[in-house]
Amino acid sequence: MEDWQKILHRSITAIPDLQMHFGGDMHGLDQVAAVYPLRINPYYLDLIRHAGDPLWKQAVPDWRELADEVCPADPLDEQRLSPVPLIVHKYPDRVLFLVSNQCAMFCRFCTRKRLVGTPAMRITDELIDRGIDYIRNHPAIREVLVSGGDPLLLSDERIDAILTALRAIPSVEVIRIGSRVPCTLPMRVTDKLVHLLKKHHPLYINTHFNHPAEITPESEEACRRLADAGIPLGSQTVLLRGVNDDLQTIRTLMRALLRIRVKPYYLFQADLTRGTNHFRTPVRAGLEIMRGLYGHLSGLAVPTFALDAPGGRGKIPLTPEYVLEYGDNLVFSNYCGEICTYPESGDPC
Ligand SMILES: *Cc1c(COP(=O)(O)O)cnc(C)c1O
Ligand code: SF4
């Protein structure tokens, strides 16, 4: 067993162990964990400072997960958009390829919480081969997003085999891995892993940090190794009520990501996934946060605020309104709220 596997093996997966660690009343939470599995590895557990803090909320089951009767289980209609198992084909030029049903921790807000870590997500070598065949037979696919679960929880050998098979398809130009490991189990990013990943360029990794307290010397080191191997890093952050839904937290997070060489890519409006309704924030709150980023922070630190449209209709960018009036003179406000104009036609002088 590798060191990271030993750490993962010592994860808390049962409510009584969680209760022993934190104390407090966890009555009834075993019912939640029976539906949506619990896993908090010792590394992430150490980052939680006290019950109810932003990292706790991401990791510890909540009775509201079972009380949610508003949201659909599969809001993005991934079932309908799946031509063969493990493939979600929504956009013409890229597909999602779900190769792992395990994660370094099970996030309570996960969009695929109905599947991840449960027997409902069955992944076999044969199904992976069928997915690769599908990609080979559809040359319009230029980019493959290898995701899950977390693909970096597979063994080095399995990761290498999947990436090698994808690289053998001439129409696949870019491979993108989605992994929360740099945040939730940074010791998984071993020199050996990085060495195998960099054989498969052009390779991008989008990771997922939600709070400045997740940025530690360990996660910084994981990102440094990946970036030094020439892998561009992005972050897909989710806006979560009580976790990061205030301007100061998001500003600090975006700046810190840039410092550890991770480009903020998306800031997601929370999906309508069943069991996660208590994390949702109003879209307006996200737009207000974005207004506090544009111009105030380096453009490199500003993500695209996006909503993944229900029913699998794709990601919609949401931008605060700066234009006040379209016409011969465009009237708009700048990042400080000052009104400015720009002559569209006629003699500007
Ligand atoms: C999010 C997503 C993608 C990637 O979209 P980008 O905007 O390129 O990041 C691709 N396929 C599916 C099914 C997705 O949900
Ligand atoms: S790491 Fe990603 S896929 Fe895994 S539980 Fe968290 S959000 Fe879901």
Whole-number Å distance, alpha carbon 233 to ligand 2 midpoint, is 17
- pLDDT, tens digit, 9 for 90 and up, residues 180-195: 999 999 999 999 999 9
Nearest residue (by CA) to ligand 1, atom 6, is 315
CA distances from 220 to 44, 150, 213, 301, 348 (A): 14, 19, 12, 16, 49
Choice between 329 and 70, residue whose per-residue pLDDT is larger? 329
* pLDDT score, position 348: 60
* Beta strands per DSSP E along 255-317: 262-268, 304-309, 314-317
Could you tell me the two tokens for 270? 């929370």
* pLDDT score, position 116: 96
Residue 294 Cβ inside 6 Å of ligand 1? The answer reads: no
Of 66, 169, 162, 164, give the one whose Cα is nearest residue 108.
66
Question: What is the phi/psi pair of residue 315, to 5°?
Answer: -85, 135
The rounded mean pLDDT for the chain is: 96
Percentages of the chain per state (helix, strand, coil), in multiples of 5: 35, 20, 45
* 347 band by pLDDT with thresholds 50, 70 and 90: low
Whether the Cβ atoms of residue 151 and residue 100 lie closer than 8 Å to each other: yes
Whole-number Å distance, alpha carbon 113 to ligand 2 midpoint, is 8
165, containing H or E segment: helix 156-167
Average pLDDT over residues 76-88: 95
- pLDDT, tens digit, 9 for 90 and up, residues 235-289: 999 999 999 999 999 999 999 999 999 999 999 999 999 999 999 999 999 999 9
Whole-number Å distance, alpha carbon 347 to ligand 2 midpoint, is 55
- Residue 138 confidence (pLDDT) above 80: yes
- How far apart CA 31 and CA 37 sit, in angstroms, is 10
- Residue 179 confidence (pLDDT) above 80: yes
Residue 144 Cβ inside 6 Å of ligand 1? The answer reads: no
Whole-number Å distance, alpha carbon 190 to ligand 1 midpoint, is 27
Which domains can be identified in the chain, with CATH numbers?
Answer: 4-318 (3.20.20.70), 322-349 (no CATH)
Average pLDDT over residues 305-310: 96
Residue 94 Cβ inside 6 Å of ligand 1? The answer reads: yes
Nearest residue (by CA) to ligand 2, atom 7, is 110
Average pLDDT over residues 155-179: 98
Peptide bond into 202 cis (omega under 30): yes
- pTM of the model as a whole: 0.96
Tokens 């019950």 belong to 51
Residue 151 Cβ inside 6 Å of ligand 2? The answer reads: no
240, containing H or E segment: none
Nearest residue (by CA) to ligand 2, atom 8, is 110
- pLDDT, tens digit, 9 for 90 and up, residues 84-110: 999 999 999 999 999 999 999 999 999
- Residue 1 confidence (pLDDT) above 70: yes
Shortest-distance atom of ligand 2 to CA 103: 4
Nearest residue (by CA) to ligand 1, atom 7, is 315
Could you tell me the two tokens for 130? 């069928």
* pLDDT score, position 349: 59
- pLDDT, tens digit, 9 for 90 and up, residues 192-239: 999 999 999 999 999 999 999 999 999 999 999 999 999 999 999 999
Secondary structure class of 58 (helix, strand, coil)? helix
- Residue 77 confidence (pLDDT) above 90: yes
Residue 145 Cβ inside 6 Å of ligand 1? The answer reads: yes
Whole-number Å distance, alpha carbon 272 to ligand 2 midpoint, is 15
156-167 vs 125-136: helix crossing angle, rounded to 10: 20
Residue 90 Cβ inside 6 Å of ligand 1? The answer reads: yes
